[in-house]
Amino acid sequence: MLRISRQEANQVNRNPSTTLGRPRDADADRVIIEAVLDLIAEGVTLSDLSFVAVAARARVGRNTVYRRWPTKQSLLLDTLAAIARPLPRLGNEIRDDLVALVKITAERSQHPRDGRLLQALLAERHAFPELSQAYENTVVRPRRQALIDTVHRGIATGELRADLDSAWATTVLISPALWPPSGTDTHITSAADLAEKVVDLVLIGLCATR
């Protein structure tokens, strides 16, 4: 059973690339996690992913993998933590902070390998409920809370409407970053471009009237 302490969760949030609680060879960790990402990107499902395949792709012994991660779920959690972008430094203009927060989500979802892992987790979340919940607690929830806090700050400063539902505003802001529009007619050139377009469009409805 996958269990994560509050201290471990805080550690992942501060530095998503940090593994949970085990001093290890960082180079070996990186190679193994890269192997997991490669296999998932090639179409291997989370259910079918095996330590044998991971070790073969990473060119390490199976015991090297087992010593670091006793279960597949712990390996997958560290892999998910490794692809999570750190939270940006906030405290700027409300628009700038919203753009920065939406951008880190867009970067992750648009990345060819990172996005594939997130899609795989979404597809098999019912088969890996503890992994899904752990990822929600350690990565998703802190980023969502940062967006909500930024919206609250905008309401407090009078930049955003006082009657806003912050949870709904956050959902509207983050959804296009999680499932970016496709097609040439969108004229989206990068994650940063998407973040600016989304925030500027949504702010038309969120900004307080002067």
Residue 202 pLDDT = 87
Apex CA 103: angle with CA 9 and CA 138, to 5°? 10
Tokens of 43: 């179409």
Q: Judge contact between 102 and 177, C-beta under 8 A.
A: yes
Identify the structural domains of the chain with CATH numbers, from first to last.
25-76 (1.10.10), 84-181+188-204 (1.10.357.10)
Q: 3-state DSSP call for residue 207?
A: strand
Question: Which parts of the chain have pLDDT scores under 50?
Answer: 1-23
Long-range contacts of residues 185-188, Cβ cutoff 8 Å, at least 24 apart: none
Q: Which residues pair with 207 in a beta bridge?
A: 160
CB-count exposure of residue 199 (10 Å: 0-12, 13-18, 19+)? buried
Residue 6 pLDDT = 43
Q: 3-state DSSP call for residue 62?
A: helix
